[in-house]
Amino acid sequence: MDLKLSNILKFISIISVFGLVFFVSGSINVEAVDQSRSEEFFAGAFPTQVTSATSSDFIIYIGNSLNGVTDPVKSAYFRVSGVYTGAGSLELKIDDDAATAKTFDLPDVTSATAFEFLYHDDSGKINPASAGEYAYTLDFNPSGTVAISGLSARAEITYQFAETACPDGSAENEKTKHQEFFAAGYASQVSTATSAPFTFYIGDNLEGVTSTIKSLYFKVSGTYTGAGSLEMKIDDDAATAKTFDLPSVTSPTAFEFLYKDDSGKINPASAGEYAYTLNFNPSGTVAISGLAAKLSETHRYKPPACGGAYPADGYLTSAVFDTTGEAGGPAYNSIMWQGTLGNGTEGKVNFQLATSDSESGPWTFYGGATCAPGDWFSAGPNSPMEIGCFSQFNNKRFFKYKTRICSSADCSTMGSFTPQIDEVVVSWSP
């Protein structure tokens, strides 16, 4: 009998929002929510004592997309430290710009004294508008009788950036990473040459990346007595040597300075573990307690390409549904799904159906025009798929459906997005 579906069609709506096994449930797209990142960059270090105006060139590198972001820099300041004698002040500027100037008092001391302060430029001189490398100069101008040993500065920047829908970022995102590694730590006092082996690890893809290291330096600290200096080297290489003055003190004095190797000894070209040795050589009457060093580095890398984020396909089999509530089941007409393809157009959703006279089965799934176990019904959202396959399905009271969600159209290639099914509608006629 030819039945008009509009008159006698019954619907079952099986509601289940899912991304299926291996797929993320909920919305298809990652929301493009702005995020923030904090990074450190070496800004300057002077091994010899500073008593007059000097300057240090430095760079900051932004590896993230700032497209559409207004006022991206949320915090930018310099951590300035050293050990001083005398009395006076220290003026700091960026690019010799008077609008950035701040002068910090250094009160009269009778013995070398450690200091650290934070210099913040209220004029907003550092204000990048897009991803890339930015060069600046940090200016130091001590006054009075101030003499500073181990004068060091590092820039600490937090900025807002525009995230993309790509699961692990795109070519515009996540291109820099800041890391710190333990390099040395001595429990006993150090007064003679010693060395500490350490390892440095890069876990990112550096293929095709030029100028990988954007900032790399050691934070060296401790408490010393006596007078003299501390020489630093990497792998006992004279090209990496720098000697830091430690002026005479009458009581144990804390210090911290930044040691940067200008020769580029540490310059990895690929992911992996790299082993080095950090060499310390105190001179004069210097004795250092709690001598420690940690490596601080920021590197550029090649992020995973967008795409291939999801498995090619995933499956879900429904529960058992009872159609008529009595023996002699219905004629199955169509199956339809409601939801969205990945990113609106990506991927595919397939179905198979299995029917049985018993709630416990047996269950054999069929689909497609061939009505074969290896074939599938397939259509876009809100498009009923005619079931057909009358001899396999009709007049059987119970049914189950199987769904196959594909992240790409061919169901064999890993794709960038996954469809989302909100509702499945199976129609039958009694």
Among residues 104, 98, 92, 87, which one has the least CA distance to residue 146? 87
CA–CA gap between residue 287 and residue 169 (Å, rounded): 49
Amino acid 314: pLDDT: 87
In contact, 316 and 14? CB cutoff 8 Å: no
Domain boundaries, the chain: 5-24+310-429, 35-300
Query: 37 falls in which pLDDT band (50, 70, 90)?
Result: confident
Share of the chain above pLDDT 90, in %: 54
Mean pLDDT of 203-222: 89
CA–CA gap between residue 323 and residue 272 (Å, rounded): 60
Whether residue 243 has pLDDT greater than 70: yes
Domain 5-24+310-429: assigned CATH number: 2.60.120
The two tokens of residue 383 are: 């498009």
Whether residue 124 has pLDDT greater than 50: yes
**Ranges 180-189, 272-281, 384-393: which has the least confidence:** 384-393
Mind listing the pLDDT tens digit for each residue in 185-210?
A: 999 999 999 999 999 898 888 887 88
Share of the chain above pLDDT 70, in %: 88
CA–CA gap between residue 181 and residue 316 (Å, rounded): 45
Amino acid 88: pLDDT: 96
Counting DSSP H helices and E strands in the chain, the numbers are: 2, 21
Q: How many other CB atoms are there within 10 angstroms of residue 113's CB atom? A: 19
CA–CA gap between residue 120 and residue 94 (Å, rounded): 10
Amino acid 14: pLDDT: 33
Looking at the chain, how many residues does it have?
A: 430
Mind listing the pLDDT tens digit for each residue in 309-348?
A: 677 888 889 999 998 877 778 889 999 999 988 877 888 9
Whether residue 424 has pLDDT greater than 70: yes
Amino acid 66: pLDDT: 85
Residues 6+ apart with CB under 8 A from 86: 106, 108, 109, 144, 145, 146, 147
The two tokens of residue 377 are: 């019904």
Among residues 105, 56, 68, which one has the least CA distance to residue 84? 105
Mean pLDDT highest for which of 13-22, 267-276, 318-327? 267-276
Amino acid 163: pLDDT: 65
Among residues 64, 208, 187, which one has the least CA distance to residue 131? 64
Among residues 89, 74, 84, which one has the least CA distance to residue 112? 84
CA–CA gap between residue 27 and residue 420 (Å, rounded): 7
Whether residue 416 has pLDDT greater than 90: no
CA–CA gap between residue 236 and residue 41 (Å, rounded): 25
Amino acid 308: pLDDT: 57
More confident residue, 35 or 362: 362
Query: 261 falls in which pLDDT band (50, 70, 90)?
Result: very high
Sign of CA dihedral 196, 202, 207, 212: negative
Sign of CA dihedral 119, 124, 129, 133: negative
Mean pLDDT of 20-27: 30
